[in-house]
Structure 1
Amino acid sequence: MINILVDDIVPIIVIMALGYICGKFSYFDDDQRQGLNKLVLNIALPAALFVSIIKSTRAMLAKDATLTAISFIGVIVMFMVSYYLCRLLFHHSIQEASVCALIAGSPTIGFLGFAVLDPIYGNTVSTNLVIAIISIVVNVVTIPIGMYLINLGQAKDRAKLSVQAENAVNAKVNAKGDITLDPARDAATDKTAELMVHGTSNTGKNRNGNLQALLDALKQPICWASLLAIFLVLVGIHVPSQVAPTFDLIAKANSGVAVLSAGLALSTVKFSLGWETIWNTFFRLILTPAVFLGVALLCGMGGDMNKISMLVMAVALPPAFSGIIISSRYNIYVKEGASTTAVATVAFAATCLLWIWLVPFCVG
């Protein structure tokens, strides 16, 4: 257990702190920081996800139907619960709630799955199966859902701003018959309205919100790379092992740069340890694994204590770093997201020990 803390948790905290210090001393400017985020989100992370998913097989997914079903349904349900609770409890927009779900509702299985589970349970087929299933659900299902919701929220905001700008112009035109207005001020108002609409639009044209949000999400490398990998797995196309090093070289930069970028994002906002950060941390580290433990016991997995323990530990990991990268990249939910990531990563050192002790107690 000491090795897990020293080898896995401490380096994350140190690198995140390094990013925070670099941000505070302006070692990276805004363009460079966004460049790092773009590197992770569009290149390194898609490569890492592709490599991790294609190592799975159809046999692995079909080996334990109960485990697969609980993982698939459970991760999606908890993701959506996080989304709706964020909107209900803290009154956030669609975009903000979707990023919250990507952070509080998703474990960083791609970064810490093998690093945490292998030392505890060994590098076995069962360990690889649990990590593979959770990785596939998080990367192939919840990330595209999150990107879809972000684009959907942006589309609704564009439509709303468009209507507001049109109403403002109409009100001004109607008032001209009775009130003498300053032409220079009118021009400035028109320009402001134009910039508001243009600045929140990708093309300046009205589109079907749901369809376009879905298409925009599928265009993201983080989505189509994961979907391509799962398609290859499901149809049984084996990617030669010689191909993996090509992706591994850039994928290896993913974890370090992602954590560094999380620290940079945290340095740009005032750190918050409010109720929302505490709730997100509780949801990620305590509530989610507790729900999975209860459902697994109800579904008859209590006979295999090792497997149920691995499942609980896999979903008890800190927030997915892909969520904070998406947050920083689109400047959505940055303060709360960065604070949640930092607090939950530190708190995992304690909750990890809690679940290792608690699961055998509950099963026994």
Structure 2
Amino acid sequence: MMSHAILLALAPVFFVMALGYGAGRLRIVDNHQVGGLNALVMDFALPASLFVATASAPRSEMLTQAPLFAVFGGVMLVLYFAWYVALHGTTKATKADASLQALTIAFPNLAGVGLPIVSAVLGPSGTVPLAVALAAGSILVSPLTLILLEFTSGPKDAETLAPARRLLRALRRALSKPVVAAPALGILFSLSELKLDGVTEACLLLIGHAAAGVALFLTGLILSAQSFRLDWKVVAATAMADIIRPLLTAAVVFVVPVTPEVAKVAILLAAVPSGFFAILFAVNYRLDSATAGSMVIASTIFSIVTMAVAIAVLFPQ
């Protein structure tokens, strides 16, 4: 029964990624022109899904997820800054490359991998904590990366502005991204006890349901255009994402007073492999995504073992 649940959670993820990878390799879809699919995921489908999941949650339920937001956000920030400082301080990596790699390690693939996993393991009750965890990453670590990218790889006309104005411009651009603004607005909507009407919710869900599948297909498509490079950075990044992240989360929830349910969900979500946001950001800013892509591939493959262990230990029934 447990092996079947694990297979049910993991098989669709790798199947859809393999479809995207195969479509790119066989030239069925142009894997060098992915701007349209990227916009579909980052500007429409994923923001709609995040907004509905958070906005439709009752205020009481949203408040109970506050510890998850704090724990998950704190763990992601620690890993983000640890990798960024170590890489940028000890190698010749640019700030943009260091931030993309840090985002890859810190922010799990909750949209693509986390959603089918919580659906298989927790059922419908897992949607809200997943959305809150996604919101934590979208509000905390994604804007950090976007600010650094805007500051270092943004429009050329920004170079003529004073540093303070460049920072404010980068911050405005980062926070105005739909993938950042949508979950924040959804949380505010829920806390204000406002209700989505049925028509609005149905309209947003129709496009939002495409987020996970298209994101996984797009990830495979982008990875098909890159060669896999196994080096010390990829190995270290895989260890940080698949082993250190869930273990660090387990240590935090052991010290911080949270309910057993929140602790289990936090550890399970932390065991999800590296996310694809950095790859999509790299495409947006026309940067090299090969290293981040290799990290995602290695982390996803290795997570077959780590996620299976996490599910078996946390949810043995």
**What's the TM-score bracket when you normalise by the shorter of the two chains?**
0.7 to 0.9
Deviation at 1:357, TM superposition (A): 4.8
Q: Which amino acid aligns with 2:77?
A: I
Q: Which runs of 5+ in 2 are unaligned?
A: none
- Equivalenced residue count is 313
Distance 2:117 2:171 in 1: 34
Deviation at 1:66, TM superposition (A): 4.3
TM-score, structure 1 normalization:
0.76
Matched, 1:279 2:236: yes
Alignment correspondent of 1:26: 27
Deviation at 1:122, TM superposition (A): 4.8
Structure 2 contact 115–212 (Cα < 8 Å) conserved: no
Q: Which amino acid aligns with 1:272?
A: R
From the CA coordinates, give the structure whose radius of gyration is larger.
Answer: 1
Alignment correspondent of 1:331: 286
Deviation at 1:118, TM superposition (A): 4.0
Secondary structure, in 3 states, of the residue corresponding to 2:161?
coil
> What do residues 340-359 of structure 1 show as CA deviations (whole Å, max 9, x unaligned)?
21222222111012224556
Aligned counterpart in structure 1 of residue 213 of structure 2, from 241, 246, 256: 256
Alignment correspondent of 2:104: 103
Matched, 1:242 2:199: yes
Q: CA RMSD in A?
A: 2.8
Q: Which amino acid aligns with 1:8?
A: A
Alignment correspondent of 1:228: 185
Deviation at 1:72, TM superposition (A): 3.5
Alignment correspondent of 2:175: 218
Distance 1:64 1:262 in 2: 29
Deviation at 1:114, TM superposition (A): 4.2
Distance 2:109 2:53 in 1: 13
Structure 2 contact 229–294 (Cα < 8 Å) conserved: yes
TM-score, structure 2 normalization:
0.86
Deviation at 1:112, TM superposition (A): 3.4
Structure 2 contact 149–285 (Cα < 8 Å) conserved: no
Alignment correspondent of 1:148: 147
Alignment correspondent of 2:121: 120
Distance 1:67 1:249 in 2: 27
Q: Which runs of 5+ in 1 are unaligned?
A: 156-199
Identical counterparts, % of pairs: 24
Deviation at 1:123, TM superposition (A): 4.2
Structure 1 contact 292–312 (Cα < 8 Å) conserved: yes
Alignment correspondent of 1:130: 129
> What do residues 32-86 of structure 1 show as CA deviations (whole Å, max 9, x unaligned)?
4222222222222222222222133432233365444323433333333333333
Alignment correspondent of 2:253: 296
Distance 2:57 2:145 in 1: 23
Distance 2:116 2:27 in 1: 32
Q: Which amino acid aligns with 1:9?
A: L
Alignment correspondent of 2:78: 77
